[in-house]
């Protein structure tokens, strides 16, 4: 009976505050849900990444719920200072424990916002090379030529150099071919330029060019340089390699052959 009397006295004294607290809680939850929907529509109109839309709208909802909870506790006469302190300490502890994951998460958000690469781009970074299959909040999944999945932490792709081969529509293709020192350079240049001009996927502007790249002990290394659409890069490369082999045989252009020379010292 004493408990019932205590509760009854407490409700008589604080009933209005409880009623106000309940009303604030209901309105706050409704406002948080409504704000979440509005935020989703707004972010969708800005063409933000779907994963970011869900994350940011949920973050806004959680923050509003925490804010409403603090107001309700204050209205009920409870001290929220210690609650906020404990919440902050817990957040700090979790942040320190998940420092690496948070770094990857922040990097994932930056990648989705600034878009240094997108799904479908062929990139090279952090020792990995492949086509971007999926950009997650903690890591990026690449697909290698053999369809292997390469999972790279997002912080690696933000803090290190990344080469995006798909960013530009055009790409320069360079094929180095070694010929023997007995082969004619002018004839070789004409053959390589003829192969380039016969492929409709090769751009005529800038014009294809053939230069001497360097000299090695066994060969003169020629370089065929052409421009083509990014999507045709590898098709042009493999086609050119095949035609080079065929045309060199027809034109009697000698390829270098590795030679091992042995010297004998004759002693009297």
Listed by start position, the domains of the chain span 2-97, 115-164, 170-250
Residue whose C-alpha is closest to residue 233's, from 143, 128, 131, 125: 131
Q: Element (H or E) spanning 262, and its range? A: none
pLDDT-based confidence at residue 93 (cuts at 50, 70, 90)? low
| Tokens 């878009």 belong to residue | 115
Are residues 131 and 149 in contact, defined by beta-carbon separation less than 8 angstroms?
no
Name the residue with higher pLDDT: 66 or 195: 195
For a pLDDT cut of 90, what percent of the chain falls above it? 43
**DSSP label at 145?**
T
Looking at domain 170-250, its CATH architecture is 2-Layer Sandwich (3.30)
Does residue 35 surpass a pLDDT of 80? Answer: yes
pLDDT the model gives residue 57: 80
Q: How far apart, in whole angstroms, are the C-alpha atoms of residue 220 and residue 217?
A: 8
Name the residue with higher pLDDT: 8 or 195: 195
Most confident of 36-50, 93-107, 133-147: 133-147
Determine the distance from the C-alpha atom of residue 74 to the mean position of all C-alpha atoms in its chain, rounded to a whole number.
45
Average pLDDT over residues 171-186: 93
pLDDT-based confidence at residue 211 (cuts at 50, 70, 90)? very high
* Fold of the CATH domain 2-97: Helix Hairpins (1.10.287)
pLDDT-based confidence at residue 180 (cuts at 50, 70, 90)? very high
pLDDT the model gives residue 8: 55
Does residue 13 surpass a pLDDT of 70? Answer: no
pTM of the model: 0.62
Q: Element (H or E) spanning 170, and its range? A: strand 170-179
pLDDT-based confidence at residue 28 (cuts at 50, 70, 90)? confident
Average pLDDT over residues 10-39: 78
Does residue 130 surpass a pLDDT of 80? Answer: yes
pLDDT the model gives residue 242: 95
Q: Element (H or E) spanning 86, and its range? A: helix 81-97
Helix (H, G, I), strand (E, B) or coil at 184: coil
pLDDT the model gives residue 195: 96
Does residue 85 surpass a pLDDT of 90? Answer: no
Looking at domain 115-164, its CATH architecture is Roll (2.30)
pLDDT-based confidence at residue 103 (cuts at 50, 70, 90)? confident
pLDDT the model gives residue 90: 59
């Amino acid at each position: 009976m004493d408990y019932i009397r205590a509760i009854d006295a407490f409700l008589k004294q604080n009933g209005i505050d409880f009623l106000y607290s309940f009303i604030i809680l209901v309105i706050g939850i409704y406002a948080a849900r409504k704000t979440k929907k509005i935020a989703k529509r707004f972010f969708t109109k800005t063409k933000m990444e779907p994963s970011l839309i869900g994350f940011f709208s949920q973050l806004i909802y959680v923050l509003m719920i925490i804010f409403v909870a603090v107001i309700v506790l204050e209205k009920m006469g409870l001290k929220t200072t210690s609650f906020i302190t404990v919440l902050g300490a817990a957040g700090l502890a979790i942040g320190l424990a998940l420092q690496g994951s948070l770094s990857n998460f922040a990097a994932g958000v930056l990648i989705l916002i600034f878009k240094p690469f997108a799904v479908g781009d062929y990139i090279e970074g952090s020792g990995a090379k492949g086509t971007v299959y999926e950009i997650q909040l903690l890591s990026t999944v690449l697909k290698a030529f053999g369809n292997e999945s390469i999972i790279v932490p997002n912080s690696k792709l933000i803090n290190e150099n990344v080469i995006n081969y798909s960013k530009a529509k055009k790409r320069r293709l360079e094929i180095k071919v070694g010929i023997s020192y007995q082969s004619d350079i002018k004839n070789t240049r004409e053959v390589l330029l003829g192969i380039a001009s016969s492929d409709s996927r090769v751009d005529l502007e800038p014009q294809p060019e053939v230069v001497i790249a360097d000299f090695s002990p066994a060969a003169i290394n020629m370089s065929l340089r052409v421009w083509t659409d990014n999507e045709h890069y590898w098709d042009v490369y493999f086609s050119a390699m095949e035609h080079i082999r065929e045309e060199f045989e027809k034109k009697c252009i000698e390829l270098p052959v590795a030679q091992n020379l042995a010297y004998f010292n004759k002693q009297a």
